[in-house]
Structures are given as C-alpha cells and as structure tokens.
C-alpha cells in the first residue's frame, strides 16, 4: 500500500494519497485546489486516481475535490451525515453520499467511513485497511476530529459560519465521538490528522505528523476527562482559550458546501511593465500585491497596495486582505520570476482567490509612497483616534499596550464597523513583531483609513525600559 501525506505549511493542512500497488488505483482524501502535486505523485508511482473523498465541509481552505475529479474522472465521496443543514449542495450531485460504515474498496484497500461529529455535524473519519497485510484497519484519517495532542474545535460554526451556541452541542458530540468511536479502536491504530501546528482549527495542535490511538488515549489533555466520564469538565476545557477564527472561514464553508468552481488550466500570467502597472493602479483597474517583508515595504511601496509577504504564508495572509466576494479587481504580484509568481498564485487559489493576472519583477521607475511609522518612544505623543492590537485575543489577554483595543488581522476587514470612521483620524496598529501588522495595515489603507504602524510592534514597545504591558 502507498500512503503519502501531502502537507501545506501555509495553511497547516494535510491531504493524503492512499494507493493499491497491486492494481495501481489510488484515493485522495481532502485535496487542496492546486492539484498538480497529486497528479505528480500518482504518476511517479504508476497509479491513477479513481476516487476522491472529503472528511467534512472545510472552513480553512477551498476544497480541491471537484477540481481533481474533473481532471481525472475519479468518483467523489462525501458525507451524508449531520442532517439537512449539513448536506452537500448541487456541485456534488454526482457524488456518492456516505453514511457511517460506508466502505470504499479499490484493489486490496478498504476505507471505511466513521461518523465522528463534533468539529462539524457531518464529519467523517476514515479507517484504512491494507488487505494485503491484514484484515483489520491499521490507520485512521481523522480529518479535523483528532489531531496530534488536540481536538478539532467545536466553536468554529459560531465564530465563522453564523451559528448560535452550536459549540455546546458540538462539544458534547465530540465527547461522544471520542468515547464511542475513537477509544474503541486498538492502541496500535495510527492517527493521521488533517492539520498540524499553526492551524486555527484547534488551540494546541502538535507539530508531529502522526500519532496513535494508544498515545492519545494516554497522553492527550482530554484523556483524563474521558477516563472519568467527566463530560462537563471536558466541555469547559475544550471551549476555553480557542484562537480567533479568521473571517474568511465563513466564505470557505459556504463555497465548500455548494461546490467550489472548477478552474481547470490556469491562464498564463502577464508580465507587466512599470508603465502598464502604473496605468492600471492609477485607474484602479488592478491591485498591486507587494510581496516583500514589512521592513522593505516601509521604505516605499505602490499606493493602495496590499502586503502579502512572500510565498510561505500567501494563502493565509491573502485571505485576510482580499475578499473575492467583495473585490473583483485583478491582482498583480511583485515576484522575482514567473515561476515564483505561479507558486504565489497557486497558494492564493487554495483560499478561492482566482484573480491573479500578472506579475512584475521590479519597482524601478514606479512612484512609491512611504507608510507612516511611529517609533515606540514617540507613541505617547502621537495623535491618534485608536490604538489597535491586531494579534489574536489570547495574545492580547496575555499582555497588551495600555489603551489598546483588539481586533485580529484575520477579522478586521469584516468588522470595520468596530473602527472609527475613515475620516476620524489616524489609527495606530501593532502586532507581535510587525509582520501581521504590515499585512493588516495595508488592507486598512486600501479601505481608506489613515494608518500608522508601530515600529517593532509589541516586542519593540516592550523592549523599551519602563514600558509595562497590561494583562487582561
């Protein structure tokens, strides 16, 4: 059996290829939208993709299930659990709808769907049996159910999808899924989750790629509650201290339920000249994306540009600052090469940003503007209408600047009603070190706000002798 994990460091998301080496057939679970990696791996191993499956309706990235099925002719398998409010939409009319215990068989491989609600009502995990080795399952793809060292948060529907107090039932469902499904498995079953450290789908995800049922049974934070049958203690601990959910999660959840648009072959990116870019930006026909570090951006950037610093977190930060449901102007990327621009585009595709049309390799001969920067020692004398902390709420609670209000960078564009009017005066923003601050500040400037960034952000301010943060 081939079992390969494909991990996206940007979104901390894992998908899996399961293949039968005897028949050359393969199943892909939870694919992302830029599908080349799956085609390359299966071709390298002499396999063809015959099936694509999803553990649940995802919120943190746009599913590549329909994309991969369209490219390969593979059958699609999705959950039919969770009730009518969690039924996949018309984009999945041809999909096989799976109930608990449904089995997908190809070659020597059997993949059994196990209904494990909690993170979402329709959530499935997949038990994998390699029939060439055993007649018992040896692996469980747990999706957003069980992570290494943590569990999928049950409050995401409240935080990002418009739910009202669904977290409590979700937490109870998660407790039952652990007790009745997960902990009934043998200790040797390997646990292969859909996320790792850095994902906002849990609060304490480990960086290790895999675990076992036995390890989680003994060492996870939740094990003591299950051992004592303490459901309320479990719920209280689970719901405490969850990180801010990014606002774009709501868009992902809706599009993934309906069925993401199939894009097929991406168009060739146009390489812009300085004159072309200047004309497009001046006429507000295109949005420039400055992909440099915040320190470089602070030396000068294109007016009303967005800052998405590099390939590594392009999907994450891109979804913070560009909402394709509200903004349709094409994006032009600063990139050292066409290859880098295509990689950046692929990352943005993962969060449903399909409007990248071109790139430019230099800012030479383009008029630049310099963002306003406030040094920490000048902050008390700097006239402002708001001091805004764009870190997450847990960071803010641990310590923040006196008088600062919190609204995380992943939510701010969707909650402009919590900010003063654009003509009210200057807003000073900060994060931990300056990266998230520059990203968020660029989006707020484009939205019409007068923004000044705190140089060095929180770390720079606390480094000055006598500056003491406030905890809450």
How far, in Å, CA of 307 to CA of 291, rounded?
A: 6
Q: What pLDDT does 161 receive? A: 64
Q: What is the mean pLDDT of residues 347-371?
A: 97
At residue 353, does pLDDT exceed 90? yes
pLDDT tens by residue, 22-77: 999 999 999 999 999 999 999 999 999 999 999 999 999 999 999 999 999 999 99
Q: Are residues 187 and 321 in the same domain?
A: no
Residues 276, 181, single domain; the answer is no
Q: What pTM did the predictor assign?
A: 0.94
Q: Does residue 162 sit in the same domain as residue 307?
A: no
Q: Domain check: are 314 and 339 in the same one?
A: yes
Clarify whether residues 155 and 295 are in a common domain. Answer: no
Name the pairing type of β-strands 190-193 and 211-212.
antiparallel
HSE (CB half, 13 Å, CA atoms) of 23? 16
Residues 162 and 306 in one domain: no
Same-domain pairing of 90 and 231: yes
430, containing H or E segment:
strand 426-430
Q: pLDDT digits over 178-224, tens only? A: 999 999 999 999 999 999 876 666 666 767 899 999 999 999 999 99
pLDDT in tens, 211-223: 999 999 999 999 9
Per-residue pLDDT reduced to its tens digit, 376-410? 999 999 999 999 999 999 999 999 999 999 999 99
Whether 405 maps to a domain, the answer reads: yes
Q: How high is the pLDDT of residue 174?
A: 98
pLDDT digits (tens, 9 = 90+) for 12-22: 999 999 999 99
Structure confidence at residue 132 (pLDDT): 94
295 within a domain of the structure (yes/no): yes
- Of residues 131, 129, 52, 120, the one with CA closest to residue 92: 52
Report if residue 204 sits inside a domain: yes
Which of 223, 258, 293 is the C-terminal boundary of a domain? 258
Q: What is the DSSP code string of 327-350?
A: --PPEEEE-SSHHHHHHHHHHHHT
* Domain shared by 279 and 252, yes or no: no
Domain boundary among the residues 360, 382, 398 is at 360
At which residue do the structure tokens 């990248």 appear?
A: 356
Kindly report the CATH number assigned to the domain that includes residue 385.
3.40.250.10
Q: Which is it for the CA torsion 420, 425, 428, 429, positive or negative?
A: positive
User: What is the domain extent for residue 334?
Assistant: 270-360
Running DSSP on this structure, what letter comes out for residue 396? H
CATH classification at residue 194 = 3.60.15.10
Are residues 169 and 275 both part of a single domain? no
Q: Residue 411 falls within a domain, yes or no?
A: yes
Q: How far apart are CA 92 and CA 254, in angstroms?
A: 13
For residues 210 and 76, membership in a common domain is answered with yes
> Is residue 263 one of the residues assigned to a domain?
no
- Calculate mean pLDDT across residues 301-316: 97
Number of domains in the chain: 3
Q: Based on the domain organization, do 130 and 243 belong to the same domain?
A: yes
Residue 254 in any domain: the answer is yes
Specify whether 386 is located in the same domain as 446: yes
Question: 299, 326, 360: which is the final residue of a domain?
Answer: 360
In a domain, 367, yes or no: no
Give the chain's end-to-end CA distance (angstroms, integer): 52
Residue 133, sorted as left (phi over 0), alpha (psi -120 to 50) or beta, turns out to be alpha
Which residue is it, tokens 């899996």?
16
The Cα 91–Cα 40 span in angstroms is: 26
Q: Is residue 43 part of a domain?
A: yes
């Amino acid at each position: 059996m081939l079992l390969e994990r494909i991990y996206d460091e940007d979104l901390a998301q894992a998908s899996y290829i399961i293949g039968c080496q005897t028949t050359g057939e393969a199943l892909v679970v939870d694919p992302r939208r830029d599908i080349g990696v799956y085609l390359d791996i299966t071709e390298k191993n002499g396999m063809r993709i015959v099936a694509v499956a999803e553990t649940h309706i995802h919120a943190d990235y746009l599913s590549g299930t329909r994309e991969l099925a369209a490219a390969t002719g593979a059958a699609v398998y999705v959950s039919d659990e969770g009730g009518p409010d969690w039924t996949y939409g018309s984009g999945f009319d041809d999909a096989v709808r799976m109930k608990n215990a449904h089995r997908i068989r190809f070659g020597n491989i059997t993949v059994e769907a196990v209904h494990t609600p909690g993170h979402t009502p329709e959530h499935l995990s997949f038990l994998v049996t390699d029939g060439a080795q055993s007649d018992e399952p040896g692996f469980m793809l747990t999706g957003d159910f069980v992570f290494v060292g943590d569990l999928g948060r049950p409050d995401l529907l409240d935080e990002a999808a418009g739910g009202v107090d669904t977290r409590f039932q979700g937490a109870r469902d998660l407790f039952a899924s652990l007790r009745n499904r997960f902990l009934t498995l043998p200790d040797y079953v390997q646990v292969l989750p859909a996320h790792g450290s850095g994902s906002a789908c849990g609060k304490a995800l480990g960086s290790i790629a895999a675990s076992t049922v036995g390890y989680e049974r003994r060492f996870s934070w939740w094990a003591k509650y299950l051992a004592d049958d303490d459901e309320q203690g479990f719920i209280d601990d689970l719901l405490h201290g969850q990180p801010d959910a990014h606002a774009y999660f709501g868009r992902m959840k809706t599009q993934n339920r309906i069925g993401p648009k199939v894009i097929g072959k991406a168009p060739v990116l146009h390489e812009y000249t300085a004159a072309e870019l200047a004309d497009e930006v001046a006429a507000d026909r295109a949005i420039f994306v400055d992909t440099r570090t915040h320190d470089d951006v602070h030396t000068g950037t294109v007016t009303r540009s967005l800052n998405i610093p590099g390939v590594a977190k392009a999907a994450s930060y891109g979804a913070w600052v560009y909402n394709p449901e509200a903004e349709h102007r094409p994006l032009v990327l600063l990139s050292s090469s066409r290859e880098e621009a295509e990689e950046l585009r692929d990352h943005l595709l993962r969060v449903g940003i399909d409007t990248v049309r071109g790139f430019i390799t230099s800012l030479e001969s383009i008029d630049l503007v310099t963002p306003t920067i406030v040094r920490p020692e000048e902050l008390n004398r700097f006239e402002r209408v708001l001091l805004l902390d764009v870190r997450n709420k847990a960071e803010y609670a641990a310590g923040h600047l006196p008088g600062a209000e919190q609204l995380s960078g992943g939510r701010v564009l969707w909650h402009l009603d919590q900010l003063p009017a654009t003509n009210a005066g200057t807003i000073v923003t900060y994060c931990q070190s300056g990266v998230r601050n520059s990203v968020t500040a660029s989006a707020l400037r484009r939205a019409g706000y007068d923004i000044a960034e705190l140089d060095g952000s929180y770390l720079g301010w606390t480094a000055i002798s006598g500056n003491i943060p406030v905890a809450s």
